[in-house]
Amino acid sequence: MERGSDRAYRELFKRIGDPAQTGAALADLFNLCRKDFMKYIRAAVRDDEAVKDIFEDLMVEVCLAPQRVVVKDDPKSWMTAMVRNLIRRYFRTVKNMPTYVDLDEYIGLVGYMSAEERQLYLELEGLITDIAAGLTPKRREVFLLHWHEGLPLDGIARRLGRSRHTVKKQLAKAIKEVGKAVEQQWGVKLLGKEDKKDNDHDSQN
Amino acid sequence: MIHRTEYVRELLRKRLEGALSAEEAAMLRAARRLHGRDVWDRLMAEVLEEGGEEGRNDALARWTPDFRRIKQRADRVNRFNTVLKYMVGTTVAAVALVVIWFGFDRYRSGEPGVAGECAGMPPGMEIPVSEFAGAIAYGDRDPLPFQAGSEGHIATVGNLAIIRDSSGILVISEKRKAAEADTAGHRDIRITTAGFQQCGVRLPDGTYVRLNASSTLVYPLSVGDESIHYTRIAGEALVRVPEKRGGGRVIVETHNSQLHSSEGDFSVWTNPWETRITVLDGTISAIARKGGLSRTAGKRGDRIRVKSTRGVGKQINDSLFYHRKRNVNDALMWTSVVRNYRNASLRDFVVDMSRWYGLPATRLHCIPESDRVTTSLCYRATRQDLIAVINRAGLQVYESNGQYSFCRPEDIHHTPGVMHARATSETESCDHCGNYH
């Protein structure tokens, strides 16, 4: 079986929906999930018993509605989101993590930003917003809803009255265009800053 | 760069190794936002799993969940969800049945003229403008009645044209600037409604007045200050004043007070001894005629009441009361096709109804103040329907010479005597027995 692909997950969900194969399919699903998510969960949750609980809860969630999951475009993303929700639930209920806290920051996968990192991030954010202004109107619309409001594809599609497929394509193109422009302009910007720093240093000397 | 997932993976790897520079940390954060939650989670999981299967030879690596127990748990949750769904469905159905039964029971109990539906209209609907009717008078002329459904030019008074537009509203508009000659012979235009009539009037400054039955609107013709627009109202009305700029305002006069507004909606209820104002929107100032009392109200539901009483030596004193009430429905009930009274004062109910039916109701002091009424009455309910409601509330109605009284014949000599719409002079003693009623 191909490891961790959407197809592999879809096949397993189909089998779980068949009462005659549920037990065996659950075992296969668990093995696949262990390959795909064990490290992810363990990176966040240190307690082995809690890891076991999260895995069991994940299996229960799948058993509750296999037919609903099997029709999804990307079952693996659904599984990833479910794992993430279960981790978040664990931290909220057991570790009293406040609801407003970003999970990635809480478990140290992204980390809190230093003052320097924050400054750079703000500059990068400004650059991306400037670049987005130069996109074609349709791509700009989609990109800004994604970038500023963090809307998922479905949300953007609903807001703009376009199909999910169209929005997905437009967003992918916009991200590519913005990424390339960042590649070109960010280095130049940083170099400019370095030059300025050197000049300041020279003039002080 | 950050649009390529391989680059983001590389940043993630560095992050896990703790080898991320400040610039790369900023890039990683921007990449997380750029790619969105789904892609980010996937990349994160992939990077974390790159080292292959968990290699630690510990209990967790060998652990396998009890799949039968998982299946049982899932079945239990599914059963619970199904039961919950049925319970919620059953509860909703039961509540709906109770509501329907309650409504049917009320309908079957046969309150006359009472509605679910009233004249083919839903209960919350306003009386249609197309049914508006009334009469216009000016100068020495006999009143010109205008009937429901009529349309077009009605009269020209001085520089003012009065027309009834296609929606049924009377529109008074200025044909030209007013001159002294325009007011000669007719000082004002009077619009009156009889029982069962309501009408809507748009004044030249844009103010809209909706008159209830048995009410009068007087629009004085003047050539004074153009920024101030006077109107007099007796009875009951809903007034909508559009925004006035540059200090302009509308002044509505009642028997005992003046109401000033430069923008606002309010209802006004008046008789010779009392004015009640309910603010619906905007700001209204009420000034009592006597005593220099005034109050400004600017919140929906604010109520101002100016009450006049005759004191010692027949001198009239005004009192001004203010209070807040959230619900404004009772002040606007007369605009609806169905008037719903819930535990309302029977005396107030009789006053409202005597206005709507145009009935000269006398001796209201014989209605006990504590008596209450709960009913819904369609605006087209007959007089017999109304009397039946009053009787059911425990009050006897006596009719004599076309007038309705609420006193027993043996109490008939007590004063106050004839009172239209609750004109009480509360401190006046009864001529017959000397008591205050």
The string of pLDDT tens digits covering residues A7-40 is 888 888 888 888 888 888 888 888 888 888 887 7
Query: Quick check: is B99 in a domain?
Result: no
CATH code for position B209: 2.60.120.1440
Q: In this structure, are B38 and B136 located in the same domain?
A: no
Q: In this structure, are B423 and B436 located in the same domain?
A: yes
Among B302, B331, B360, which residue terminates a domain?
A: B331
Across B69-215, where does the E strand assignment appear?
A: 134-138, 144-146, 152-157, 160-164, 170-174, 188-192, 199-202, 208-211
Query: Quick check: is B305 in a domain?
Result: yes
B33 touches chain A (CB under 8 A): yes
Reported as a single tens digit per residue, the pLDDT across A81-102 is 888 889 888 888 887 777 777 7
B74 touches chain A (CB under 8 A): yes
Among B331, B356, B390, which residue terminates a domain?
A: B331
Q: In this structure, are B278 and B357 located in the same domain?
A: no
Nearest to B363 by CA among B372, B354, B375: B354
Residue A118 bridge partners (DSSP): none
Query: Quick check: is B102 in a domain?
Result: no
Q: In this structure, are B275 and B138 located in the same domain?
A: yes
Query: Quick check: is B84 in a domain?
Result: no
Q: In this structure, are B21 and B134 located in the same domain?
A: no
B84 touches chain A (CB under 8 A): no
Q: So what's the pLDDT on residue B211? A: 94
Q: In this structure, are B306 and B380 located in the same domain?
A: no
CATH code for position B428: 3.30.1370
Q: In this structure, are B322 and B236 located in the same domain?
A: yes
Q: In this structure, are B221 and B285 located in the same domain?
A: yes
Query: Quick check: is B86 in a domain?
Result: no
Percent of chain A past pLDDT 70, that is, above it, reads: 86
B95 pLDDT more than 90: yes
User: In chain B, what is the greatest distance between 2 CA atoms, to the nearest angstrom?
Assistant: 111
Closest residue in A to B11 (Cα) is A110
- For an interface test with B, the pick among A38, A58, A103 (most B C-beta atoms closer than 10 Å) comes out as A38
Q: In this structure, are B307 and B351 located in the same domain?
A: no
Model's pTM, two decimal places?
0.51
- Please indicate whether, in this complex, the C-beta atoms of B67 and A26 are within 8 angstroms of each other: yes
Query: Quick check: is B97 in a domain?
Result: no
Q: In this structure, are B312 and B368 located in the same domain?
A: no
Q: In this structure, are B326 and B401 located in the same domain?
A: no
B49 touches chain A (CB under 8 A): yes
Alpha-carbon gap: A162 to the closest alpha carbon of chain B (Å): 19
Q: In this structure, are B261 and B349 located in the same domain?
A: no
B44: chain A residues, CB-CB within 8 Å: 40, 109
- Cβ pairs A/B, distance under 8 A: 142
Into how many domains does chain B fold?
3
Q: So what's the pLDDT on residue B425? A: 44
B302 vs A68, B233, B243, B281, B324, CA distance in Å? 54, 20, 20, 10, 5
Among B309, B331, B353, which residue terminates a domain?
A: B331
Question: In whole angstroms, what is the distance from residue A16 CA to residue B143 CA?
Answer: 86
Which residue range forms the structural domain that includes residue B387? 110-124+339-437
A17: chain B residues, CB-CB within 8 Å: none
Question: In whole angstroms, what is the distance from residue A115 CA to residue A97 CA?
Answer: 24
Cβ contact B237:B266 at 8 Å = no
Residue B411 CB: number of other CB atoms within 10 A?
16
Closest residue in B to A184 (Cα) is B1
- For an interface test with B, the pick among A40, A46, A82, A86 (most B C-beta atoms closer than 10 Å) comes out as A40
Question: In whole angstroms, what is the distance from residue B150 CA to residue B170 CA?
Answer: 10
Question: In whole angstroms, what is the distance from residue B103 CA to residue B113 CA?
Answer: 15
Reported as a single tens digit per residue, the pLDDT across B199-250 is 999 998 889 999 999 999 999 887 566 778 889 999 999 999 998 777 788 8
Cβ contact B294:B304 at 8 Å = no
User: DSSP states of B292-354 as a string?
Assistant: T-EEEE-STTEEEEEEEEE-GGG-EEEEEEEEE-S--HHHHGGGBSEEEEEEEEHHHHHHHHH
B51: chain A residues, CB-CB within 8 Å: 39
DSSP 3-state of B289: coil
- Please indicate whether, in this complex, the C-beta atoms of A39 and B23 are within 8 angstroms of each other: no
Query: Quick check: is B67 in a domain?
Result: no
Query: Quick check: is B54 in a domain?
Result: yes
